[in-house]
Structure 1
Amino acid sequence: MIIETRHHLRVHSDLGEYGAEAVRRGLLEKGLEKIPSVRTINRIFERWGQLDHHRTQRRKAPPKGWYLPEVAEQRCKLDEFDLVEGLKIKDGPLVEVLNVVSLHGGLAGSWPQAASIKATDVVQALSRHWQSWGLPGCAQFDNDALFQGAHQRRDTISQVMRLCLSLGVTPVFVPPAEKGFQAAIEGYNGKWQAKVWARFTHESLGSLQRTSARYIKTYCQRTRQRQDSAPQRGLFPKQWQLDLQVHPADYPAARMVYIRRTNQQGMVTMLGRSFPVDRNWTGRLVRCEVLLTEARICFYQLRRRAPKEQPMLNEIHYEIPRRPFRN
């Protein structure tokens, strides 16, 4: 009866509908009893070879941090940073929150401040966080000028980037308008807004900061087991001081990473410039490793379907100009 109804609807239905829901409606209109569910009808279709589509093949998701081999293999830690904006305390200031969460360990931190957060605030928060918990191998950011520096100027190495390089941490910048790369920190942003911001009425910025601090303390205690099983963090140097006038290439093994998508000419844009990658690799992801000490950039192919296959596409000479740092 079910297969016959399907054949009838395929030929005579005014709407051209003959799927499981349409068949069930047709059986109901006939006044039959004990009509099977849509799911059962679909199973009958499959048994009789009536399905028109192929079953979706779900591919295994790539490992966390797949675009950075040392992170995917858990040889180093990666901290993700992001900014939450647009919060307003009633009869109080606008608030912005700098958040961080480690990719594998779940170690988190939040710093609510009156808007607008400046690069010096980020530098201070990062240095204190890393002094308390140790250094990651990589620090990941989006492309906000707060982290990356002025976009309109070529060869800009921001305060935040110089902080990372001075401590031997690789700054990583994810591609604009791409989903997935900041999933961990975006998930934490949502938790913080739900459990701290929206849950309580905050009379002042100080009240919000105290509530946030309690949440962070409890959150880190809960993720302690994950932190212990994650890669070890590096030691923070005791006599460290940030000198913004040190040229980035003068730091040992100074390295920056940009994840980018090539345009139709096989080029990428970063550091205020356009760089050639590969004319045959258009509209695709690449990892751009800026090796400042070695004065070169290496471009590597990235594919989610084959996360372990990352051959080099191109290598070019590149030097950061030597000029005084300006805010």
Structure 2
Amino acid sequence: MPTNKQIHLDNRPQGEATAGNFKLVTSETPALQEGQVLVRHHFLSLDPYMRGRMNDAKSYAQPQPLGQVMGGGTVGEVAESKSPKYQVGDKVVGMGGWQEYSVASADQPGALRKVDTTHVPLSHYLGAVGMPGVTAWYGLVKIIEPKAGQTVVVSAATGAVGSAFGALAKARNCRAVGIAGGAEKCKYAVEELGFDACIDYRQHADAASLSKAIKEACPGGIDGYFENVGGMVLDAVMMRLNAFARIALCGMIAGYDGKPMPMSYPQLLLTNRVKLEGFIVSEHMDIWPEALKELGTLVATGKLRPRETIAQGIESAPEAFLGLLKGRNFGKQLVKLV
């Protein structure tokens, strides 16, 4: 059996996460039992939610146990199979974690899913046609429920979730406005992702300045907002919401280091009769087939052109993850293992 390099969570962060929280471990892959499959990972997904799991605190996800493989999404191919459901060479997506190989039970619901790479590259099943894409779909379709002509806004617009959100919004004839960090990201949002406008929050020192820029990009106000960031960005958007606006609350990356994130204008939730709903996409598995079908079509037809930032080798995962939390990635952050 092949040797397997893994990244474990070695200790919990005190404030900001560091590379010292992680540990590289080499182990042997176990012999397969009947009904099991050995998967060689080609790509590993890095996602902001993983930062919350590093803390031993109450959250929507169980804390990541110390001394065990960091959890995370993976795509790869079946290297060995003791199940009639999977053949060697099958391309699969699963939750194999931060390691080069994983063993999965073929009979466990949701453990593995075969994917077709004819029109959609394998790596995109961790981004646009995977959990991030379905996250964007659920927030837009089920919570914001936009009508044609309405204005919808998304923070972290060029990330894996935000880029899918833009394509899905344009497919519904909405005005799509992004908020992103840096001129290059904003240019990509408009020219390649099809956003009607994109605002560089790094050009603004406070919520009032950012809100003024949002007003110029959204002259008719905001009907729906998809939140990935929180903090100053949320304060700025709140000042531009229309009556009966809907907010899909997916992430609060500005607060992932554990510091409090006060809201400046909570009274606007009442003034504008805002519907705000937080959600975790893994709790809505019933909508995944419909969402993945639409997302796969958008990618295959070139209407969604996701970008990826790819780190090389399992050893690079911790630093790539820390860079993701600082917004250094462009599009979906992946680690290439093969």
Does the alignment reach a TM-score above 0.5? no
Give 1 or 2 for the bigger CA radius of gyration. 1
TM-score for the superposition, normalised by structure 1? 0.30
**The structure with more strand, counted as a fraction of residues:** 2
Q: Name which structure has the greater RCO, CA cutoff 8 Å, separation 6+.
A: 2
TM-score for the superposition, normalised by structure 2? 0.29
